[in-house]
Every structure is written in C-alpha cells, then in structure tokens.
Amino acid sequence: NKSEIYKVKDFTDKHYAAPNKDMYGSLKGKNVIIIHLESFQQFLINKKINGKEVTPFLNSIYNSNHTYAFDNFFHQVGQGKTSDAENMLETSTYGLPQGSLFAQLGSDNTFQGAPAIFDQQGYATAVFHGNVDSFWNRNNTYKNLGYQYFFAASYYDTSGDKASGYGLKDKLLFKDSTKYLQHLQQPFYAKYITVTNHFPYDLDDKDQKDDPLTPPDTDDDAVNNYFLTAHYLDQSIKEFYKYLDKTGLSKNSVVVLYGDHYGLSNSENPSLAPLLGVKSNDWNNFDNAQLQRVPFMINSQSFTHGHVDHTYGGEIDVLPTLMHLMGISSKKYIQFGTDLFSKQHDQVVAFRNKDWVSPKYTRIGGTIYDSKTGKVIKPNAKLKKKIDAMQQQVNTELSLSDTLNSQNLLRFYHPKGFKAVNPADYNYSNELK
C-alpha cells in the first residue's frame, strides 16, 4: 500500500551518500556512452594467454589516467541476467529474487531512472542492440524507462553470418549503428548492449583472423572459447573508439564500460582456475564469489587523474555515481546504491541471494570469510554482532527494493520537478509511418 513508500524513502534517505566535491559535476554536459560488455569478467583485464593480451584495447583504457577503473566491483544480477544488470544501472534498484524484473514488471511499472532523468536535462536517449527488440521485454520496459529511441535488430542487416546466437555481431553493431548515432541531438545518453561474448562463445573463423589469439586448451570448450569472443569484443570496442576519435565525439563524451555478469559459471570455474594461477582442488564458494568481479570503468578525456580504485561496489552504485559526475543531484530520488566516489559510500555489496562481500568480511551461504585471505572466520560474540548487523542491512535493502518494485510504489512518489514518463510517447518501430 501507499504508506510503504515512506518506509522505503526513509531507508534510502538515511543510506544516501553525499557527493565528493572534487568529482561532482566534473563531466557536466558531456555525452554519455554506456558500453555493456556482455558476460565480461574482471579477470580478463590485463590477462595474457599464450603470451598475448586477451583484451589489449580495454587494458589500455583500464590503465589510462583518463579512466577511473574499479577492481573490486561486483555484478549483482539474479535470474534476469543482462536485464537485471540493465535495471540496476538504470534505476539503482535491485532485480527480483526470482525471474527478470524487465520481463515481469517492465510493461507496467513506473520508473524514475537514467533515461528519463537525462531526458529532462535536455539529453537525447537511445539504446543500440543487435537482438530482437522483445528480448527481455525491452521493447516495453524501455518505454516505461523513457528511452526515446531503441535501435534493435530490425534496424540492421542481420542476415547470413552477420549475426550469431544473440544477434548482430559486435563489430557490425558498432559500425552499422553510427548512421543512427550521428543523427542524435547532443548531448545524448546512449547505451550499446553487445552480444557476441555470450555463452556458448561461438565465433566464425573469419572473425578470428584479425590479430588472432591462440586459445587456452583446458578440458572445457566454453572456457577456451570465452577468451576468443572476449578478444573479438575488445577489437569491436577499439574500432568504435576509432570512430569516436575521428568524429571528435571522444572530446565531449564520457564512456562508461561495465561487465554485466559472469561468463563462466561456478561449475566451469575449476577448469578456469589454473589459467588464473589458482589451485582448483580445494575450490570453494569464496573462490566463486571472487570471480563475480566485473569491470567498471569511467573513461573521459576530461579526467587526467584517473587510476584503478579499490573501493568495493557493484552495479547498484552506478546511477548515483554517474549522476553526481554529471552534476545532477540524486537526493530526491529513491536509489539503493551510493556514489562510489563518496566518503560515505557503502562498501557492503549485496548479491541477489543475500550473500555479500565487503572489504573485510565476506558472507557466502552462511559462512564468513576474511575477504583478504579467504580464510573461514569463526566470529567471537562481538564480531558476530557486527556481521549480523551487516546481514540485517543487506536483507532490509533487498526486501525494500522488492517491496518498491513488486508493488509498483514509485507511482505514488513524485520527486520535485521530475516529470512522470508517458510510455505512449515512444514508438520504436522502424516501419515508415
């Protein structure tokens, strides 16, 4: 019921982290380009296989002083996978405990998320994606999020070998979408959702010819091929950056790159382990949790002091972080994440199943680990109290997010000056009208 919204708002108000003054507004007015790196895990960064970097271009971004990169950043998705990552990034609320929020609630719910917030700052907003528009119910959800444009599969030639399992290959997505991107009014907020680095990591021979990588030879083909499609994804980003440089867009844009979730599952991790220099015989839940790190990088030529930041955080934290960089206050909105640059940032990262990681302690399946050493901790009474309080906070946060979304409570909440989205304003069809 309606009064629940105040409980939620009370929690997020108390949890709110004030912006870092040195960072606030540092990217004001810039175009925002979000690049969703499908199934891309942090361990790929700076990784060499058979003497060769897997993702040399992304490494150059990661290591650049134009980039703030986070190496303790975790995905937090549930069964909604890509769509859960999108939901967290766009709204700073969690996906659902079961299923996909986009699929279950995206057609009807009220959102107060990034597309509408940027739109109301005078931005054009668009998504570029090589799969059919109905996948994960995006065609409906994006209207409720307030996206002005959605350039899905029907906007591109996906015939023959131009597509693989989940749609247009990444190099073609970046290339063939420029004709739409160049017509967007600036400033814009544009999201690219890549697909080629997706299980089962199939890649045609001809797409491996460019600067070929010799894959590892573990007993698991998915593990081996994962490096090849990641290598291809890296090249596609490099080509897109060439375009951004050539057109001058790189000068007045910020590019945000993130991995949406794991590519290799817990059952595949023991095959992966030797490649990471870790022993696989006593592989456990803590080791699996370590591999839920995904890249999060904010890259802009206006940054000159960028570096690798070790703050713990996750997908839920992206929206307040980005808004503050753009000089947009997040205070009046209901958001569960906190600005990664804020001194008050909450470093406890909740997974969708209520497990969590933090700089000192990690709790997986009821077992408490030392986050630095991975050793199991048997807490004394004082520590137990502390861990219980952390667990309570995680439970509350997830359950309030679920209440908010499952009861569609944002329809009762009216942030001052925010204009409610009208989904009927949008039509993503490319048929001549």
Catalytic residues: 82
Tell me the sheet residues that pair with 34: 191, 256
Kindly tell me which of 24 and 156 has the beta carbon lying closer to ligand GP9.
Answer: 156
249 DSSP assignment: G
Neighbours of 225 (CB within 10 A): 18
Q: Which stretch binds Mn ion (CB under 5 A): 17-25, 171-179, 255-263, 402-410?
A: 255-263
Which residue, 304, 340, 295, 343, is CA-closest to 322?
Answer: 340
For Mn ion, the closer CB: 236 or 362: 236
User: Judged by CB under 5 A, how many residues of this single chain contact Mn ion?
Assistant: 3
82 in contact with Mn ion (CB under 5 A): yes
Identify which of residues 30 and 198 has a Cβ nearer to ligand GP9 in the complex. 198
Partner whose footprint covers residue 131, from ligand GP9, Mn ion, none (CB < 5 to 8 Å by kind): ligand GP9
Q: Which spans of this chain sit near ligand GP9 (rule: CB under 6 A)? A: 81-82, 131, 135, 166, 193, 195, 198
Q: Based on the shown chain and the rule CB under 5 A, indicate whether residue 260 belongs to the binding site for Mn ion.
A: yes
DSSP string, 338-364: --TTSTT----EE-TTS-EE-SSEEEE
Return the number of the residue (230 or 390) whose C-beta is nearest ligand GP9: 230
Span of 161-169, 173-181, 253-261, 270-278 interacting with Mn ion by CB under 5 A = 253-261
CB 316 within 8 A of CB 95: no
Least Cβ distance, residue 96 to ligand GP9 (angstroms): 14
How far is Cα 330 from Cα 157, in angstroms, rounded to an integer? 39
* Alpha-carbon gap, residue 393 to 268, rounded angstroms: 32
Residue 82: CB minimum distance to ligand GP9, A: 3
Pairing of strands 188-193, 253-259: unpaired
Measured from the CB atom, the residue of 229 and 358 that comes closer to ligand GP9 is 229
Is 86 a binding residue for Mn ion by CB under 5 A? The answer is no
Least distance in angstroms from the C-beta of 295 to ligand GP9? 16
Shortest gap between Cβ of 152 and Mn ion (angstroms)? 15
The bridge status of strand 124-129 relative to strand 149-151 is parallel
Residue 189: C-alpha distances to residues 170, 280, 306, 322 (Å): 19, 43, 22, 11
Catalog residues that contact Mn ion under the rule CB under 5 A.
Answer: 81-82, 260
